[in-house]
Amino acid sequence: MSIPCHQLKRVGLKRDLDRHDRLVGLFNTNFFGPVNLTKAMLPHFRERKGGFIVYVSSQVGWQAEPGASSYCASKYALAGTLSAALFPTSETS
């Protein structure tokens, strides 16, 4: 399964941080969307005893970009979560 991590980006520090709804929108698109889809697929992978998920994201998951702190945070949140998720899953996760 391939999960394209679509980009929603707002540039500029004040514009980036001034509205809570923008921050929530970025995290809903760039973090919670891929996480929720992954959680939905795990039972199917367990049933089949295997599977692959490929995430396509952007470099700001590893390297920040000036003026886009919320966007970078949403991408880094996904990258950090996926790094931790590389450990084998159990039936309870």
Comparing CA positions, the residue from 16, 5, 8, 6 lying closest to residue 68 is 16
Q: How many domains does the chain have?
A: 1
pLDDT band at 89 (very low <50, low <70, confident <90, very high): low
Per DSSP, the three-state class of 67 is coil
* 76 is a catalytic site residue: no
Q: What is the pLDDT of residue 3?
A: 54
- Find the domain containing 41 and state its range: 2-83
Residue 19 inside a domain? The answer is yes
* CATH number of the domain to which 60 belongs: 3.40.50.720
Q: Tens digit of pLDDT for each residue in 25-76?
A: 889 998 999 889 888 998 999 899 988 888 887 777 778 777 777 888 888 8
Select the more confidently predicted residue: 85 or 47. Answer: 47
Residue 75 inside a domain? The answer is yes
18, two tokens: 């001034």
Question: Residue 91 pLDDT > 60, yes or no?
Answer: no
Of 71, 74, 76, 78, which one is the catalytic site residue? 71
Per residue, what are the HEC states of 10-51? CCCHHHHHCCHHHHHHHHHHHHHHHHHHHHHHHHHHHHHCCC
Distance linking the first and last C-alpha atoms of the chain = 19
